[in-house]
Structure formats: structure tokens, C-alpha cells
Amino acid sequence: MKFRSFVRPLAIAAGLVLVLGVALLGRLTLNTPLYLIERGGQAQPLALQFVPKQSTVVASVLVRPDRLADLWDYLAAPRLRQETRRDQELIEQALLANTGLSYSRDIQPWLGEEVTAALITPDLDQDAANGATPGYLVALACNDSAAAQAALELYWQNRAIAGDALTFEDFSGNRLIYAQRGAQRFSSEDTAQLATTLVANRYVLAANHPDVLRQALTAAQSSDLNLQADRRYKTVLKELPQARVALLALNLPAVNHWLHPDRDAAISLNPLETADDEVGWGLMSWQLTRQGLVGHTALLAEQGHRLHPQQATTAADWQAIAPYLPDSLAVTAVGSDLTALGQRLKPLLALTSPAGESPLAAALDKALGAGAAALLQTGIDRAYGVGLAAAASDWLVVAPQSATLSKTLNDLTELARQQGLGVGSLDLRGTPAIAWTRLALPQRGTQPLQVVAEVAGLQAQVDQYEVLAASPATLDAVIHPSAPRQQPAWWQQVAQISGPSTGYVHIDWSQVQAGLVAQLPQWRLWGTVAQPALRHLKQVTLVSGDRSDSVQTGSVLVQLSNQ
């Protein structure tokens, strides 16, 4: 037999095996929840037509929630699947509390591939005198209108049997159903009120007050009123990848006012040509990975403002700093422009501080005197690495040595002296360092008074870097690491984001969550609902992208643990 005659049947057989294998693999992928990672869900949220464009927060899940639960269960380690399913049940119970509804029995049979929830307004009547009554809207896509109608009728029948007086109202061609409670139109009791309507056999709308449904139906009748037709939404959506499972819209000034209602909103009078990096509205498009979530962000400049354009570059200039940041820090950041870091993080920082003040800048100014943070920002003209412990009083700054930075450190020493701090030399296990200290008389009861020197900050040279730290322990961890220097474990995650960047911010969730809950009273409500999911959250990494004079892009990597 000729060799060619022998090989040809084998090649044909191998080709058939390959084709069948690819087809089988594709079929297996389609028959498992893994397709959500590859393709995502519905391309866009169609229910945004019911969301007024001034809404504070809008979140759209573009795939049926039970499909996400199936994927999470599929990827979970076998020993954790029972715990995962229990967490899913807790989330369902929290979301459907006091409704008597079951997701699998009452909602899943007719639910389509979209659930959109929105905070329409932090206060429905805009009257602080009678307390805040937020307006919430949920829009659910409907695949089986008959089943949806039957579920709604059963729910309202049960409410009527329980003694609630039902109100039926025709509004804009739709039948609204709600239970009338109390004499006041807006009261604390109304926050638990539910109003529903079925629109065009395609959407079930539910709200915590009938006025929210009226606003939603009015918005759907005019392109000038709803978010789906809004110019900002259309502009920002073009900047984001098309494959997604969720979309989050944020009206940042409204979010800031919601979280800090006691702070009067400042009215900006800056002309259009002013560049001050104020962002006002944005979208986050979320994709699934085997490790968690990737969110791509695009933020628009606030009306009447412009952004300082910044082109993203490769990480070669600043990636060498990351091994000098100890793993014990709760928050770390590396990048190429320290001045821009605060502005980039301002929307996030505004969640915990009305002014959006950087906790690092606040800690530096408190330790070394007002103006210390501004001095460092101007002195670090190249790459940087910074970090904060969970308490925020323990901080770290690492930057390459330069003539500009040397002059800044001299100015910083002079500033410390003006604040009454002492400046002295210190040997830290063989490495010379400079210590800024403050003399104090601690209270010791009946013990004799004793003057002690409290460390306000330390500075040392490590390899080719200048290192500033709040405590000897943190500085020592940089100088004498317990293991050979290498990129931190989270550095591998950023490989999921293609393209250049201007910097990374890494957050260890286990260390910061307690402080976040304490600072945000509004978070406690949502934190209770989300706690079963949040306890699987391990870390978050923010990636800065390009910035034009009108749009700022970036990414968010969320690592979850189910292994």
C-alpha cells in the first residue's frame, strides 16, 4: 500500500473527528450556562423607555436571573454548591420580602431576558419636612402575558383577602392597581406600598408608589423624557463593548445628593472652555468571566465642564513599583499621574465624602500639615505607587528618585517644622531613614508624666525609589519584604483588560467593607439584601483608560470566590 493511500483515510477520519468534536463542544457550550461568558445576554435594555432620564441610578440585568444563578452554580466547586444555592435563596427572600411571591413559581414562568430597576428620585414629593420617600421602579420583560396577568391577579386577590382596599386606575391606556394606605399621599407607610401594571403585554411594571408608575408611563410617551432616547445614553453606549449581561447608569450629582442629602448641591458657573475634570453621568457595561465580573465604564463630562485629555500608555513606566506595595494594605494604586488620580476617583470617593476628598490626601495633611498632599502631587512628576491600610491613618507613597522629588521632600520637611514637628535620623534595621515626629504627653493615670515622640511620617530610599510611610512597620515591610519581590497576585487580573492604561487601583474588599457600611447609612439597606452575594466578593481592581475632553473610560475587575 502506498503511503499516500494510507494517510488519506486517516486524514479524513481525523477531520471528521475534529468537526464532530467542535460541533459537540459548541453544543455543550450552548447547553450549559457558559454561553453567558462568551456572548452575554440581551444587547440593550429596552425597558429604559419607562425610566425618566433624570433618574438617580438605573440597573438592568440583560438575562433572566435564574440563568445567572445556574452559571454561578455550574462554576462553583462541588463542595460549595449547597452553600451557593442557600445564598441564592437568601437573596430571593430579601428581594421578595413581604410580597408573598416566589421567583420560581410566580415570576420565572413568564419572565423575559431583562429586569430593569431604577431609583427614580430620592424623594417623591421633594419635601424634606415630611421625610424622604424614594421612588423605586422595576420593569420586567414579559414572554407570556397570560401567565404574567394571572400572577398579578393572584397577588392582588391575596392582598384583597388580607384586607387591603385595592384601587384600580386607568392612566395613559393602562390599568394601574395599588392598595390605598393612609390619608396622606406621601408617608412612611407608603414606602412599602406596591403598585403594578401590565404594559402592552410586554412589560410588567412595579413601583413602591403609584406616582412612580405615572412618571414611568408618561416618560414612555415622550422621547424627551425617557433615558432610552437620551443623548447622553446614546453617546456613552457607543464607547462600551456590545457583549454584556448588565448595564448600570449613574447620574453622579444625583447619587451624591442622595447619599449626602444634607449637603447643598453646588451650582457650577464654569464656562464651557474650563477643564476641571468634573464628570456628571455615565454607564457601566458588565461582562461575566470565570473569576467574576468585568465592568467597562464611560463617564461624560458634567454639563458646562471639560476634561483634561489623557492618552493611556503601557504600564512599563510604573509596573515596577507594584512589588514595593505590601499585601497588607487595604487599598493600593499605581500609575503615571498622581495629580490625576484624585480626579479619576472623585466619583467613587463622593460615595463616602460629599466633597469627594481623597483619604490619602486627608491622611497626609493630617500627619504632616495642610498642603503636604499638594506638595507631593507636584513633586511626583513620574510614576507613583500609593497605599492605605483599612484604618486610613497608615499610608504609603513610593516614587522614583528625581531632582524634583528631592526638592519636594525638602519642602515637606520645612512644612513639618512649621507644624511643630521634629525631624531626625533613624536606623531601620540597617537602612537610614528620616522621621517626622510630634512630642506628646500621653495620659497614664497616676504614672509620672513622660514625654514621648509620636511618629507622624517616615522617609527612606529603597533601591531607586523614595518611600514615605506613616509607620515604621509599613516602611519596614517595603525595605525588608518577607518574600522576594514580585508583582502582586491581583496584577494577573489586569491581563483580562486589553489595551493600555494610565493606572490601577486595587481594593481588598474584606478590609474595606466594614468601614464602607459605617460611612454610608443608605448602604445598610442594600447591604442587607446583597450580603449573601457580597460575602463571595474578594477584591476589586479599577483600571484607568483614555480620557478625551468629554468622555473618560475605564474598567472594573471584580473577583468572586466560589472555589
Output the pLDDT for position 526.
58
Output the pLDDT for position 285.
96
Output the pLDDT for position 410.
94
The model's pLDDT over 446-500, given as tens digits with 9 standing for 90+, comes to: 667 777 888 899 999 999 999 999 999 999 999 999 889 988 888 888 877 877 7
Supply the DSSP string of 310-368, one letter for each residue: B--B-GGGTGGGGGGS-TT-SEEEEES-HHHHHHHHHHHHTTT-TT---HHHHHHHHHH
- Kindly report the pTM of this predicted structure: 0.84
Amino acid symbol at 165: A
CA distance 210 to 133: 13
User: 319, 326, 320, 323: which is closest to 472 by C-alpha?
Assistant: 326
Output the pLDDT for position 53.
94
Which sequence spans correspond to the domains of the chain? Answer: 3-31, 40-251, 310-547
Output the pLDDT for position 264.
53
Q: What mean pLDDT value characterizes the chain?
A: 82
Residues facing residue 388 across a β-bridge: 331, 395
Output the pLDDT for position 10.
37
The model's pLDDT over 4-37, given as tens digits with 9 standing for 90+, comes to: 443 344 344 444 333 333 333 333 344 578 889 9
Output the pLDDT for position 516.
63
CA distance 142 to 360: 48
Output the pLDDT for position 563.
57
Residues facing residue 139 across a β-bridge: 116, 205
Output the pLDDT for position 302.
87
List of residues 6+ apart from 164 with CB closer than 8 A: 179, 181
In the chain, which residues have pLDDT < 70?
A: 1-31, 180-192, 263-276, 313-317, 350-356, 392, 444-447, 514-533, 562-563
Output the pLDDT for position 80.
80
Output the pLDDT for position 191.
40
CA distance 365 to 373: 6
